[in-house]
Structure 1
């Protein structure tokens, strides 16, 4: 007959089955601590991811834009500073009227990589795909006072760029098919360092396809969008990057007023998370210490039959580990569900819970539980067999007790 080997895990599981009521409070404390701590972390990560996604949708993924760059793409790539690079060509400006004082907007195109970096998005329709097609930002249509819908044919007056800040004196009449209405992008890309009078540094609010032909004799401006291969200091950028450039930085681009609102909230979340972590740790310490105190006789009997202090700590530590492994995954799963529902109700984006973050939360939760249980486990290991077996509390009470004699009979009744 095969005998099952008695291991620490088997002993811990048997103890958990036999002491369900005693371990319920400890398991509840571990579950709630992991739930609230993970929920706060997931909520913060999800809100941060939502803000980053909004920034990238508005500004793009590029780190730097070289304005009217004279260097070729090959020369920039040879420096090793960029891992992705796209080109934006600015052909000139277009107007809805040939009058000299008519409003104009920049007209150009993105190549495939530049479009992948900047994320120009259509509110209606689609992006231009063939020559003679055009897509306009909604704000550009408003400035041009162009009353047209997707699919309409529009006549525009094109002023080709003949050099830096030099446009053709007479416009060229062009007819386009309006294929899409775009979300705001050009004004977001034009951020600082450059004055509004430098027209050749502007970004196009009217987009053509890559098949659009360049006007003969014109000299389009060429902006390069760079995604850096590594972070650069300002001195390195001034040394490596020639000419004018825009620097796009997620931290710098945040609105100061928004930061004033967000930072106190993040600070409050951090304080609450640390408070919950400390309170849950103390709760686990007290609950585990109370459980070990109630089992002092069991500890004494184990010490009496030869169990060492290390074995005592390992046996009861295994119980704490099993509790953590049972409670933490369930708490993390429930926190994901709760945060997802909360974000959906508040319309604050979607849950951001990458596997690396969940695994880190699980490992950190188990580590915190084991650290909290280590304090009472060290005390339990120091108890001697005789001290654990005898009822110390009753012995101390008996020593303090005093016998008070009383008369139980009357002499005259004898």
Structure 2
């Protein structure tokens, strides 16, 4: 039987192309995921080892490697005086301010970094006297280059003018603004005297050194050997890598699942076409076991060959990423080389082989049941089963009902994990009832297709003739489209829900606050002329004595003009402010002993308190009441609302440059909102690209099904040609058939995606999305449906040409 297997593979390469491509893509995805995980782990280990290089033991704050309190100077001195200690290096970080050449301030992270651990982009390192080294993010934000003069240190008396000696990339801090300095410089710039870690060299046994340090420092610190510290740092750093790996693994599973559907469908069709050949084998003495073994043997050979190719295809992009790691960084660390173990190469091969064999088992069992007398029949294949079993429908209906019910309940409760499990269960129910649902949808869409005449009628009949085949073909495409629609709806709904939450907590796009002092009129005019600002409001403020039941203190009181609510994203933040009332946040009210409805004396005026759960930086009253409280209150604040589509980063940067050199503080949520939108768009682009792999596999399955059905219906097509059907009509029939399958998957997948997208958002965000309704990106969803239709038509091109070339005489001749 082995010779038969090899012969089938040699003579049916075209038939085996689709399942082979499906296996290759699925295995490649899994291989790339495992290889990337191994490569990143090796990168992290090298990075952690470089940080601790040369040390015998590491001292850090209790329970963590760094802390806001950190280690003290006394502890550092104790370690340095310990017998046998030859050198102590410190790791230190703090927050400070750097002003660029134009005076614009930037909050940065000041760090002590070994020059050997950075990538020099320009200039030199380490810095010399009167110089400083900046990360590329800090230099870009400040508009600084090598040789520029910047001012480091935010507190009065700590600011130092420094020349930029070099610009570097700091591994582990990509995208973070960093200024590099010595421990003494960090103390001067920020005022901090705490240390994140002490790297101790003693020139002896690591364990003995750690024991001496523990004895000298007591239980208030964590002491590890260098090897243990490297392992601990790797564990912390690989948390993000594990999340990334899990993220990609999900899509690898999706790709493999779709591959299994394509493989099972292909084997089912191929074996149906070879029913006469298998029956002849039975006639000449082949047993059922031998027939099954033959089919499984074909699956084994196919799985091994395709999996091997898939491993090679999966390793290629990871190797390419490692080759360009000097310019492309992942998880903020440069990748030096591809690292992959033998096990990580064998696992994808085993998965590909297992999936292929399992997908072929049911068709193989069905093939072994072919009666020997079937070889005497003139048909190329036996009649297809047209009705799904009642047991399958019952199981699918029950599973789907339980899954959708659990999904809705979990979503309303905000329980993410149960929602995911119920979502998988509900989709399984959809797959089980697909042989009934898909033909019904295809028949409904076929009514429109019948306007195309005979090709439309034939395509509709062919689509519903074999429900299981049509369902299996559309299900593969359904998986990808459902997930795409889920991500589109989920991203849009999440963006709206989070934006509402941000608006309610941070209703202002941009705010300028002079802390009760006057804002210069020239500055007000400069800000109002900045492009990208739609509305502005000038607010007067003054400091007055405020008395409560518990305490009294001087408090800033803000006067709310009539045009202020038009600037806010959520006007309800200040709707409680009315004539005769003062708006106070809960924290301030608790400190002063003020309750809702209590009389509060503000200077010469007594107003009624309205306590709000919104965060406020000042007491808020109407502009008219402020005129009574502080008649000479200057314009001390501005509220700005950005224009639709404005670049928040550019606008905020322009405002910061306009206020540079003043005591005006710039705040607001525009930057956070823009960062959120950017993150959502990036994630959506990545997920869409990854799901595209599953869609490609599914389209390969559609093309394969159509191509094999052309061979299966060869005599039927020849008869139609003999009765007058033209070649163009044959091609049109196949195109409409593919279009119906694609549209059924698109319509059903979009409907499921809307439900899953909303439920997923509701489950993941919980109370933040309590009132969320599905936000439908109609343009993108329409694009998905149109793309599915276009891909279906593309998948029908080659099978349509093959069918159109069928010779009526040759096809009707007896085999």
TM-score bin (small chain) = 0.5 to 0.7
1:117 is paired with a residue of what secondary structure?
coil
* 1:216 equivalent in structure 2: 631
How far does residue 153 in structure 1 lie from its aligned partner after superposition? 1.0
1:115 is paired with a residue of what secondary structure?
coil
Q: How many residues align?
A: 345
* 1:198 equivalent in structure 2: none
Separation of aligned partners in 1, 2:562 and 2:672: 23
- Larger of the two Rg values belongs to structure: 1
Separation of aligned partners in 2, 1:264 and 1:76: 31
Contact 2:540 2:559 in 1 (8 A): yes
2:753 to 332, 335, 340: 335
**2:721 aligned with 1:303:** yes
**2:627 aligned with 1:176:** no
**2:793 aligned with 1:344:** no
* 1:43 equivalent in structure 2: 490
Contact 1:85 1:226 in 2 (8 A): yes
2:559 to 109, 113, 120: 109
TM-score, scaled relative to structure 1: 0.67
Separation of aligned partners in 2, 1:356 and 1:264: 18
2:556 is paired with a residue of what secondary structure?
strand
Contact 1:296 1:388 in 2 (8 A): yes
2:697 to 272, 279, 283: 279
Contact 1:135 1:181 in 2 (8 A): yes
Separation of aligned partners in 2, 1:255 and 1:31: 28
**2:521 aligned with 1:70:** yes
1:34 to 481, 499, 520: 481
Answer with 11-20 or 233-242: which moved more.
233-242
Residue deviations 1:300-319 (CA, integer Å, cap 9, x gap):
23334454433222112112
1:372 to 795, 799, 812: 795
1:211 is paired with a residue of what secondary structure?
helix
Q: Which one scores higher on RCO, CA 8 angstroms, separation ≥ 6?
A: 1
1:359 to 765, 782, 802: 782
CA RMSD of aligned residues (A): 4.2
Contact 2:546 2:601 in 1 (8 A): yes
How far does residue 126 in structure 1 lie from its aligned partner after superposition? 5.5
More helix by share: 2
* 1:93 equivalent in structure 2: 543
- Which runs of structure 2 are paired with 1:207-286 in the superposition (5 Å)? 207-214=620-627, 215-228=630-643, 231=646, 234=650, 238=654, 243=659, 246=666, 248-250=670-672, 269-270=687-688, 272-286=690-704
**2:583 aligned with 1:135:** yes
Separation of aligned partners in 2, 1:179 and 1:32: 53
How far does residue 19 in structure 1 lie from its aligned partner after superposition? 4.4
Distance change (3 Å), C-alpha of 1:95 and 1:252: farther
Separation of aligned partners in 2, 1:58 and 1:226: 15
Separation of aligned partners in 1, 2:724 and 2:632: 98
Distance change (3 Å), C-alpha of 1:39 and 1:372: farther
**2:148 aligned with 1:148:** no
Separation of aligned partners in 2, 1:119 and 1:18: 56
Distance change (3 Å), C-alpha of 1:107 and 1:46: same
Distance change (3 Å), C-alpha of 1:238 and 1:344: closer
Separation of aligned partners in 2, 1:292 and 1:208: 78
Contact 1:43 1:339 in 2 (8 A): yes
TM-score, scaled relative to structure 2: 0.37
Contact 1:33 1:276 in 2 (8 A): yes
Distance change (3 Å), C-alpha of 1:252 and 1:128: closer
2:802 is paired with a residue of what secondary structure?
helix
Separation of aligned partners in 1, 2:715 and 2:749: 33
2:521 is paired with a residue of what secondary structure?
coil
How far does residue 87 in structure 1 lie from its aligned partner after superposition? 0.9
* 1:290 equivalent in structure 2: 708
How far does residue 65 in structure 1 lie from its aligned partner after superposition? 5.3
Distance change (3 Å), C-alpha of 1:275 and 1:384: same
How far does residue 270 in structure 1 lie from its aligned partner after superposition? 4.4
Contact 1:63 1:226 in 2 (8 A): yes
Distance change (3 Å), C-alpha of 1:289 and 1:69: farther
2:558 is paired with a residue of what secondary structure?
strand
* 1:167 equivalent in structure 2: none
Separation of aligned partners in 2, 1:366 and 1:5: 16
How far does residue 137 in structure 1 lie from its aligned partner after superposition? 2.1
- Give ranges in structure 2 of 5+ residues lacking alignment: 1-450
How far does residue 11 in structure 1 lie from its aligned partner after superposition? 3.4
